[in-house]
Chains A and B, each alone.
Chain A
Amino acid sequence: MTLRLEQVAGELPAFVERYRQGLVATQAGIGAAHRALGTWAGDRAGGDARIRAAMAASARPYALSAGEPPTSRLAAPTLGPLSVVAADGSSIEPDRFAPVQCYVINTGFVLLPYGVGGRATLGAQALLGPEAATVDGEDDGGESGGRGLGVNLLRDVMELEMGESVAAEALAWGPAALLLDGTLLPWDLDSRQVAPEVREAMQRRTEAALGRLRAHGDGLSLGAYVSGSRGSDVVTSLRALTGGEGAWPLADAQLFAGLLGDGERSAVFRATSQRSGTVEELPVFREHPVWFFYLRVGGDLARVEVPGWGATSGRVGRLHAAIVDQCARCGGYPRALQEAHEQAVISAGDRLQFARLLENEAARQRLPAQVGGKQMSKRRRAI
């Protein structure tokens, strides 16, 4: 046995009870936040001005209104014929015990036509990198050099590029909705742990891909889907409006869970902050600002991020209807995203097979084996 469950199981009831009590304590805060939302809806310009003033002294992300009353709860419009496109990625991080430092990124994609021409398509594209083999030394702190090489960042950028490429094909048949898993802008785009030259290259590629998506015009709706979102931009803004003290909802989802019915979406908000050194300061954010809305699907409160230029009522309506329909086809999660994930996923068996292929090729080329003691002990597990 590796985990002695009896050592933690006894503490679980009290642990969960404390969490439950915390939720109960936030109920009053949720009520106050709802009232603040109403106040904001009554004076959007004034509310936005107060939020802007508050965030000048804060490092937290905020939300500003974006044309729709913040209290809006909108049902999905009727879904017309369209293609739904999705892309998702998976990766094998560099293993510092491996004979050669490399990574694999597998980008899955899906094209699902509904009432338009074209054929359903599933597929994946694998990439071995980096292009130039790295022989530099690394710090000893980490298990791998994946973060420095920006593998996660590259994977996210490749998802965006793949999605754009497949969406371009789909648009030949009619309108399309492109769904991405996670945030609209790659999570590590501003990460100091990624080498600067890698980060800058990825920022340029992200901007280029979003530029191509924008150029596709009104026929394309783009949305990045965050299931079970823990974002807090809106409740942070509401707190700034009220100067609220005491218990306050920790996440926007807690606020909108009590507002939205199944299949309904919130108003669209603009994500903003005056944090320094973060993605909001990058040219890509200025060119493609992140706007978002919340959507309730069953018990899930998802955050859907869209580029500011894609937040027109027609594009958002199509996106909203497409997501609700996709979720109905797949037990509460967009079918296209699930299948893109299934195409991308790299199984434990695949990972092992790749490691063996790499070792065999290194041995064939008579590379010295770099078998560390820790690696050997994990493999041997002798007693």
Chain B
Amino acid sequence: MSSTPRVVEAGLRTFLCAYEGYEEDPFCLGEFVVVREGAFPALGVVVDAASGPEDPSRPLQAQGAAGQTAAEVLAENQVLRLLLRTRVTVVSCGYVEGEAIRPLLPPAPPPLLGRVEAADDGEVKRVTGDGAFLALLVASPLCDDAVVAAAIRSAAGAFAGEEREFLVGTGKELARLLKAEPARLASILRGVAG
């Protein structure tokens, strides 16, 4: 299954998106996504992804013959895909206004059922280039050190040939934001170094 996830809960700071069913390969941790619909198309960073039953009162039972892989069990029981959902939580880190991409909270939430797509390299570079997006991430209770580090690694991938400059600039911005939290800064930098 590879459906386009859609916004199912929308807020200014976070939005939740869901695939139509179970998605083995959802957006990755730290990936930049965009909802190109609504008055202010919103950009955000994936902070969590979870899969499970659509109806929480119906827990998924372990099933399948010994030796069967998950793919084989799902292929034999197609209905399971229809009863499961993969959901991805996104923290806002910018929005589009006219020709500009602003690394700020969007003035309005993205529209419910808006399609959530991977941001292209140009969008990622424009929203992360000056490092301002980091302020929204480090302030979010949903972004622990691992998420911030994953977002920086993800963004660096969009700066082909200019990765070092991007990482140096981002490091300086992080140091400024976290000057009172040296332990957190060190943790994030270790995460970026991988």
Contact = CB atoms under 8 A, between A and B. Distances in A.
Nearest to B80: A120
Contacts of A120: 78-79, 81-82
How many chain B residues sit at the interface, stated as a range, is 10 to 19
Interface in A96-122: 110, 112-114, 119-120, 122
Nearest to A120: B78
Interface in A65-111: 110
Contact of A114 (B76, B82, B83): B76
A342 B77 CA distance: 17
A329 interface: yes
A318 interface: no
B61 interface: yes
Nearest to B77: A329
Contacts of A114: 76
Nearest to A115: B76
B63 A113 contact: no
A331 B79 contact: no
Nearest to B76: A114
Contacts, number: 22
B76 to A, nearest CB: 7
Contacts of B61: 331
A331 B58 CA distance: 13
A328 B55 CA distance: 22
Interface in A285-341: 329, 331, 335, 339
Contacts of A339: 79, 83
Contact of A122 (B58, B63, B76, B79): B79
B37 to A, nearest CB: 27
Interface string B65-108: 00000000000111101110000000000000000000000000
Given A329-B63, A331-B61, A112 B76 contact: no
Chain A to chain B: the 4 pairs with minimum beta-carbon distance, closest first: A120-B78, A120-B79, A122-B82, A112-B79
11 contacts: A110-B79, A113-B78, A114-B76, A122-B79, A122-B83, A329-B63, A329-B77, A331-B61, A339-B79, A342-B55, A342-B58
